[in-house]
Amino acid sequence: MYLSDHAVIRVRLVPAGQQKARMTVSLAATRWCSSRRAYLGYKRLAKKIKPPDIEISRILKAQPRGLEKKARPGVTCIMNTNPVATYLASTPPDKIDTGFLAYLCNLTQVAKTSPEIAFSIVRELENQRKRIKLIASENYCSMAVQLAMGNLLTDKYAEGVPGHRFYAGNENVDAIETLAAKEACELFGAEYANVQPHCGADANLLAYWAILSTRIEKPALEKYGTSNLYSLTDAQWAELKADMGNRRLLGLDYYSGGHLTHGYRYNLSGRMFDIYGYSVSKETGVLDYDEIEKQAMEVKPFILLAGYSAYPRSINFKRMREIADKVGAVFMVDMAHFAGLVAGKVFTGDFDPVKWAHVATTTTHKTLRGPRAGLVLSTSEFAEALDRGCPLAMGGPLPHVIAAKAIAFKEAASPDFRAYAQGVVENSKALAAACIKNGLDVLTGGTDNHLMLINVNGLGLTGRQAESALHECRITLNRNSLPADPNGPWYTSGLRLGTAAATTLGMGRAEMEEIASIMALVLKGTVAAPGKTPSSKSKAKYLVDPGVKAQAIERVGKVQERFPVYPELDLPVLKEAFVDTCNR
């Protein structure tokens, strides 16, 4: 190894009879200086200091020759010292935070190969600490969940299921996946769990095909007298494919709060099925179960799908199951947004989707506060088809993420998580009430879950302008389509807010009232910029009053100072090691 010009030497000075003190001195070693010569240089320097006693610590790992990288045009990153050694040397043993130490070790290893990636990770932490996160689909997972994903499990191919893999050497992956599935079943009260999906879209795709395989393919194979698809004649195979294709799916309309994977024409689901959508009431903005039943009787769907991405009220899943049974449909629920409220026992009885659905899918982040991934729960009827996710719709699972899911499920089974889930809804209701008090138009007049919708049309703004103005003032959320939205899915007329992340940080009613006040200040202090013609207004560009912006940023800062994102992470230390060493 060759040391760069920026090698740093740590010399430990030990005055006789006193506790060890530390001093760091720098040596301008030449780029062509070997580590041996540098070490001799350290010894010569130490002799000149001549304290009563000298102990030269091990040479800190310096930047290898040629490892100076450009993080982006005009940014050069050089890691001068080993941040881990510096942290350990300057922190008493009883004060060492193992979570931060693990994070620091991780970034140090990353920076050896790609300092620009370490740079961006630390900048993201800094960015999130400056802003209040109200994105309904985001949260902050625990350090245990994060760290479970950073290990050699990512190297394993594990296609198949525990005990039945397409690769040898999966004994430990089997143990991890079995534990994760067990934890999921116990957490949600499900008969079966598949923990392999990489995301919610994967989970829905796997669920759709498992339902088709169970209800259409399996009976057809029994009729043909075989269990092997390759035993079918070409005519039988064509007949089976035709029978499985274009089945009817009835789900919540996108503009009423449904998800893209619920039949949106630009999504695969919209091309797999003959899609029908039910909508919220034009008068109340909530679901009308009698109208849904009437529509289901007319459509006779193969799958009746419930669940949402942007609906602020609870759903009576018992009533939906009754409708499904009445028309002979499979009842499927996508609970990706509110799975944490189910796990935390906020939604119980008639409002517990797992109790009533044949198949339930979810992400494991959002309100569940786990890794970014997916999960399928079902009755035993669909277990066999779901176990054949590979090669049906899935490739190799991600064992390191499955390990993180197991940890998240265990966390969600705790009394603390139940209190958290209750707090999410309490904060959501408080935020909605405060927004209304501040003159904002909250759809349906409130919320039953973790999210709410705000119509900004009355303020002369599009959702895109409102989203951007608030982000500029350090409140992060997303624009969202509203029922019968005149601005379409890109510009939109609405905003979607969620309280899962803010609740994780420990915020409560007082903070919700302050956030609502800041939002109202910003939105009322923002106007649409002039359009391309004198009489038109832009749907994207906007102008925020400078005084309003300054006041909003100051108030956001005061809130965030009390509730920092990942408080165990020492941001100044991380910046010194991975950001300040990058010179523009």
**pLDDT tens-place string over residues 168-214:** 999 999 999 999 999 999 999 999 999 999 999 999 999 999 999 99
3-state SS string over 73-138? CCEEECCCCCHHHHHHHHCCHHHCCHHHHHHHHHHHHHHHHCHHHHHHHHHHHHHHHHCEECCCCC
The confidence score (pLDDT) of residue 581 equals 76
Output DSSP code: residue 302: S
CATH architecture of the domain formed by 148-413: 3-Layer(aba) Sandwich (3.40)
Q: Which one of 5, 97, 159, 217 is the catalytic residue?
A: 159
Q: State which CATH number among 3.20.20.70, 3.90.1150.10, 3.40.50.300, 1.10.10.10 fits the domain covering 416-564.
A: 3.90.1150.10
Q: What is the pLDDT of residues 266-319, one digit of tens each?
A: 999 999 999 999 999 999 999 999 999 999 999 999 999 999 999 999 999 999
Q: What is the mean pLDDT of residues 425-433?
A: 98
Q: In angstroms, rounded to a whole number, what is the distance separating the alpha carbons of residues 478 and 475?
A: 10
Q: What is the pLDDT of residues 345-392, one digit of tens each?
A: 999 999 999 999 999 999 999 999 999 999 999 999 999 999 999 999
3-state SS string over 155-215? HCCCCEECCEECCCCCHHHHHHHHHHHHHHHHHHCCCEEECCCCCHHHHHHHHHHHHHHHH
Lowest mean pLDDT among 331-345, 499-513, 570-584: 570-584
Give the number of other Cβ atoms within 10 Å of residue 84's Cβ.
18
Share of the chain above pLDDT 70, in %: 86
Task: List the structure tokens of 409.
Answer: 């499920």
Q: What is the pTM of this model?
A: 0.86
Judge whether 192 counts as a catalytic residue. no
The b-or-e profile of 114-145 (16+ CB within 10 A means b, else e) is ebbbbbebbbebeebbebbbbbbbbbbbbbeb
Q: Which one of 65, 130, 218, 372 is the catalytic residue?
A: 372
pLDDT, greater one: 59 or 580: 580
The confidence score (pLDDT) of residue 365 equals 97
The confidence score (pLDDT) of residue 81 equals 78
Q: Which one of 183, 334, 411, 511 is the catalytic residue?
A: 334
Residue 482 has pLDDT above 60, yes or no: yes
Q: Which one of 363, 364, 447, 581 is the catalytic residue?
A: 363
Mean pLDDT of the chain: 89
Judge whether 420 counts as a catalytic residue. no
Lowest mean pLDDT among 17-21, 115-119, 127-131, 373-377: 17-21
Counted residue by residue, the chain has a size of: 584
For residue 375, list its beta bridge partners.
362
Lowest mean pLDDT among 22-26, 95-99, 404-408, 498-502: 22-26
Q: What is the pLDDT of residues 9-66, one digit of tens each?
A: 343 433 444 443 333 333 333 222 333 344 444 444 444 443 333 333 333 333 444 3
Closest of 90, 1, 54, 84 to residue 42, by C-alpha: 54
Judge whether 159 counts as a catalytic residue. yes
Residue 164 has pLDDT above 70, yes or no: yes
The confidence score (pLDDT) of residue 424 equals 98
Q: What is the pLDDT of residues 272-281, one digit of tens each?
A: 999 999 999 9
Share of the chain above pLDDT 90, in %: 84
Q: In angstroms, rounded to a whole number, what is the distance separating the alpha carbons of residues 155 and 167?
A: 13
Give the number of other Cβ atoms within 10 Å of residue 534's Cβ.
6
Looking up tokens 């809130």 gives: 559
Task: List the structure tokens of 292.
Answer: 């849904």
SS3 233: coil
The confidence score (pLDDT) of residue 240 equals 96
Task: List the structure tokens of 175.
Answer: 């143990």
Q: Which one of 61, 65, 123, 157 is the catalytic residue?
A: 157
Phi first, then psi, for residue 475 (nearest 5°) are -120, 120
Q: In angstroms, rounded to a whole number, what is the distance separating the alpha carbons of residues 323 and 107?
A: 53
Q: What is the pLDDT of residues 532-570, one digit of tens each?
A: 998 899 999 999 999 999 999 999 999 999 999 999 999
Judge whether 157 counts as a catalytic residue. yes
Q: In angstroms, rounded to a whole number, what is the distance separating the alpha carbons of residues 225 and 428?
A: 55
The confidence score (pLDDT) of residue 125 equals 97
Task: List the structure tokens of 508.
Answer: 């409560």
Q: In angstroms, rounded to a whole number, what is the distance separating the alpha carbons of residues 402 and 375?
A: 10
Q: What is the mean pLDDT of residues 241-256?
A: 95
Residue 147 has pLDDT above 60, yes or no: yes
